Amino acid sequence: MAVVVELEQFVIGELTQGSGIETIDPEENLLANGIIDSHGLMELVSFIETRYGVKLADEDLTPENFESLATVGALVSARRTG
Amino acid sequence: MSAVSVTELLYANAAERADAEAVVHHGERVTWGELVDQVERLARGLAANGIRAGDAVALVLRDDPWYVASFHAVSALGAIVVPVNPAFKQAELEFVFRTGEVRCVIADERSAGVCERIAAALEGPVTVVATSDAHGQSLTIDALVEGPPADRLAPRDPDETFVYQFSSGSTGRPKRVPRTHGQCAAEAALYASLGMTAEDRIFSAIPLFHTWGQGACLLAPAATGATVVILEDPNPFLLQRHRALELLERERATIFPGVPFQFRLLAEAPDGADLSALRLCFSAGTALPRETFEAFGEKYGVLVRQLYGATEAGVIAANMDPDPVATFESVGRPVGEIDVAIVDDDGQMVPAGEVGEVAFSSPALTDGYSNLDDVNRTAFRDGRFFTGDLGRLDAEGRLYIAGRKKLLLEVGGYKVDPIEVEDVLVAHPKVVEAVVVGVPGRADGEETVKAVVVPDDDCDDRELIRFCQERLANYKVPRIVEFRDEIPKSPLGKILRKYLV
pLDDT tens column, B133-158? 877 777 999 999 999 999 999 999 99
- Measured at the alpha carbon of residue B217, what is the angle toward residues B212 and B220, in degrees to the nearest 5? 100
Query: Which pLDDT score, from 0 to 100, does residue B480 have?
Result: 87
Contact A63 B271 (CB under 8 A): no
Q: How many residues does chain A have?
A: 82
Q: One-letter amino acid identity for B246?
A: E
Per DSSP, B217 falls in state: I
Q: One-letter amino acid identity for B76?
A: A
Give CA–CA dist B188/B445, Å, rounded: 43
Range B468-478 average pLDDT: 80
Give CA–CA dist B213/B215, Å, rounded: 5
- CB contact at 8 A, B487 and B451: no
Mutate: best of A58, A72, A75, partner B, most B CBs <10 A: A58
What 3-state class would DSSP assign to B12? Answer: helix
> Considering only CB atoms, which chain B residues are within 8 Å of A61?
238-239, 241-242
Q: Say which range, B94-108, B115-129, B486-500, has the weakest mean pLDDT.
A: B486-500
Query: Which pLDDT score, from 0 to 100, does residue B172 have?
Result: 47
Contact B242 A15 (CB under 8 A): no
Q: Reduced to 3 DSSP states, what percent helix, strand and coil does chain B have, rounded to the nearest 5? A: 30, 25, 40
pLDDT at A73 over 70: yes
Q: Work out the end-to-end distance of chain A between its first and last CA atoms, rounded to an integer number of angstroms.
A: 20
> Considering only CB atoms, which chain A residues are within 8 Å of B235?
38
B271 touches chain A (CB under 8 A): yes
Beta bridge pairs of residue A9: none
Of B491 and B281, the one with more pLDDT: B281
Of B446 and B81, the one with more pLDDT: B81
Interface pTM, i.e. ipTM: 0.77
Q: Say which range, B55-59, B64-68, B411-415, has the weakest mean pLDDT.
A: B411-415
Mutate: best of B89, B114, B239, partner A, most A CBs <10 A: B239
Give CA–CA dist B306/B286, Å, rounded: 9
Q: Work out the end-to-end distance of chain B between its first and last CA atoms, rounded to an integer number of angstroms.
A: 41
Query: Which pLDDT score, from 0 to 100, does residue B72 have?
Result: 98
Q: How many residues does chain B have?
A: 501
pLDDT tens column, B357-369? 999 999 999 999 9
Give chain B's mean pLDDT.
91
Of A80 and B282, the one with more pLDDT: B282
Query: Which pLDDT score, from 0 to 100, does residue B200 have?
Result: 98
Query: Which pLDDT score, from 0 to 100, does residue B412 have?
Result: 65
Contact A58 B241 (CB under 8 A): yes
- CB contact at 8 A, B49 and B139: yes
CA distances from B439 to B180, B227, B410, B421, B481 (A): 39, 48, 10, 15, 12
Query: Which pLDDT score, from 0 to 100, does residue B496 have?
Result: 81
Contact A31 B236 (CB under 8 A): yes
pLDDT tens column, B387-433? 989 999 999 999 999 977 767 787 766 667 788 788 889 889 899 89
Q: Say which range, A34-38, B164-168, B198-202, has the weakest mean pLDDT.
A: A34-38
Map out the domains of chain B with their CATH numbers: 6-235 (3.40.50.980), 280-405 (2.30.38.10), 408-499 (3.30.300.30)
Of B49 and B232, the one with more pLDDT: B49
- CB contact at 8 A, B80 and B103: no
Q: Reduced to 3 DSSP states, what percent helix, strand and coil does chain A have, rounded to the nearest 5? A: 55, 0, 45
Query: Which pLDDT score, from 0 to 100, does residue B333 have?
Result: 98
B19 touches chain A (CB under 8 A): no
Strand ranges (E), B138-187: 161-166, 176-180
Query: Which pLDDT score, from 0 to 100, does residue B1 have?
Result: 42
Contact A62 B239 (CB under 8 A): yes
Q: Residue window 38-57, chain A: list those with CB within 8 Å of chain B.
A: 38-42, 45, 57
Band (B445; pLDDT cuts 50, 70, 90)? low
Q: One-letter amino acid identity for B359?
A: A
Query: Which pLDDT score, from 0 to 100, does residue B170 have?
Result: 47
Rounded to 10 deg, the angle between the B181-192 and B6-16 helix axes is: 50
Q: Say which range, A68-72, B46-50, B165-169, B487-491, has the weakest mean pLDDT.
A: B165-169
Query: Which pLDDT score, from 0 to 100, does residue B486 have?
Result: 87
A78 touches chain B (CB under 8 A): no
Give CA–CA dist B13/B219, Å, rounded: 12
Beta strands at B161-166 and B127-130: parallel, antiparallel or unpaired = unpaired
Query: Chain A: nearest CA to B240, how far in angstroms?
Result: 6
The half-sphere exposure of B286 on its side-chain side, counting CA atoms within 13 A, is 20
CATH number of the A3-17+26-81 domain: 1.10.1200.10
B494 touches chain A (CB under 8 A): no
Percent of chain B with pLDDT over 70: 96
